Amino acid sequence: MANSPAPRQIRFNAFDMNCVGHQSPGLWRHPEDQSSRYNDIRYWTELAKICERGLFDGIFIADVLGTYDVYGSSNEATLRQGTQVPVNDPLLLVSAMALVTENLGFGVTAGTAYEHPYPFARRLSTLDHITNGRVGWNVVTGYLPSAARNMGQEDQLEHDERYNHADEYLEVVYKLLEGSWEDDAVVRDRESGVFTDPSKVHDINHEGKYFKVPGIHISEPSPQRTPVIFQAGASPRGIAFAAENAEAVFVGAPTVEKLKATVTKIRDAAEAAGRDRYSIRIYTLLTIITAATPEEAQAKHEDYQRYTSDEGALALMSGWMGVDLSTYNLDEPLGNVKSNAIQSAAGNFQKVKDDGEPWTVRDIAESAGIGGLGPRLVGSGAEVAEELIRWVEETDVDGFNLAYAVTPGTFEDVVEFVVPELQKRGAYPTEYAPGTLRNKLFGAGDKLPETHRGAKYRFAPAVNG
């Protein structure tokens, strides 16, 4: 009998944020949770070492530039429950974590709405240099009205227009990172005294609807030039944006069936944009609660549930959905609402649950209490490993963006109980691939592939004819 094909290699990211609690409101009160140490750089270096020991692709650090003040039309619930506020800058964590690791990648979130692309491009180059090419940029367009107001605007742009703005933002960044400096511009010639050949550094001369950037990039080319482009957004406009720009996409779906549909849409869109279907690594949000036995895992889950906060969960969900859930009765179905925030977040809860019943506000609070928009998987390491393999086989997803119930305990449990079981089944790497984050993800070199949108902005010398 022929041997069955080896299972697909599953990929993990740790999903965190430079704040308390992140996706599990109320769990900061748990005696084992250390998320309140987010201000301590040692928390981050310890987490990085845990993730590298587990051969994670990276730590993906979320961010917001505003408070969740949709719930109850104020930020009182958000402040009271510690739901993603206070929150610090994600990019400033990377240097320390890079210093204590050799292979771990770092996906940092930064929005296109409120910072000019010219200084931001320098920050990307800096991070790529000091990590030796292990950084990725999670491109977000923003969804919190509070951020817009504090940046001097009445409200954020309409959903699809935010992506139009982001398209031009990335065009500027690509021109700076890919097209301004030729590969051999920096010569470091001690004898002639020339550090950079001026003839090989070029103005980008960008003038568009939103930005005017005439000059050069002020950083020399970094190992990847353009860091790996991450993106999260499963609305039709978000998928179109990902098809042109993203190399890794983070999605969230409450069921295997919904996840399969989302993955197929993204892969179809990439192909329609002239790229390979698998030129995008797709990670889905998931929280794993595991232990040595199924019984211990269930007991751990029950223990965590005692610390969840319905108010905190609904404050988060209101911000994600753009809907004030405080105006609903807890047992009222969500109904058909129009979102100008994360459209896929609202859409998932406007459909029926697996039991055929509509989602109520109470259901949403319970679902979001641990792990936010993603489902939970509770079981022994072997049970979780088998389920993860099934998900990958049935949905065509590449891996999982792992939220935590408590940190770093949730990640330590995955490394201790799940990773070895996946490795036994041939479904998880036993060592890192070499090189930059891009090469680790795709095995095709350090730079953007020719089929990627950003590649067309590379400097091309004029041809005399």
Distance (Å, whole) CA 122 – CA 120: 5
**Residue 106: beta bridge partners?**
59, 135
Backbone angles phi, psi at 188, to 5 degrees: 50, 50
Q: Domains of the chain (ranges plus CATH)?
A: 11-309+362-455 (3.20.20.30)
- pLDDT of res. 361: 85
Distance of CA 150 to the CA centre of its chain: 24
Distance (Å, whole) CA 421 – CA 424: 5
Q: Which ranges constitute the DSSP H helices of 17-132?
A: 41-53, 76-81, 94-99, 117-130
- pLDDT of res. 341: 46
- pLDDT of res. 241: 93
Per-residue pLDDT of the chain (465 residues; tens, 9 = 90+): 445 567 899 999 999 999 998 999 999 999 999 999 999 999 999 999 999 999 999 999 999 888 889 999 999 999 999 999 999 999 999 999 999 999 999 999 999 988 899 999 999 999 999 999 999 999 998 767 777 788 777 767 787 888 999 999 999 999 999 999 999 999 999 999 999 999 999 999 999 999 999 999 999 999 999 999 999 877 888 899 999 999 999 998 888 998 999 999 999 999 999 999 999 999 999 999 999 999 999 999 999 999 999 999 999 988 888 888 898 888 888 765 555 444 455 555 656 566 667 778 888 888 889 998 889 999 999 999 999 999 999 999 999 999 999 999 999 999 999 999 999 999 999 999 999 999 999 999 999 999 999 999 999 876 554
- pLDDT of res. 349: 62
- pLDDT of res. 323: 85
Total residue length of the chain: 465
Backbone angles phi, psi at 225, to 5 degrees: 60, -80
- pLDDT of res. 272: 96
Element (H, E) at 291: strand 281-291
Distance (Å, whole) CA 180 – CA 170: 14
- pLDDT of res. 158: 80
Burial of 434 (0-12, 13-18, 19+ CB in 10 A): exposed
- pLDDT of res. 54: 98
Helix, strand, coil % in the chain, rounded to nearest 5 = 40, 15, 45
Pairing outcome for strands 228-232 and 135-140: parallel
**Residue 403: beta bridge partners?**
287
Distance (Å, whole) CA 395 – CA 410: 24
- pLDDT of res. 410: 98
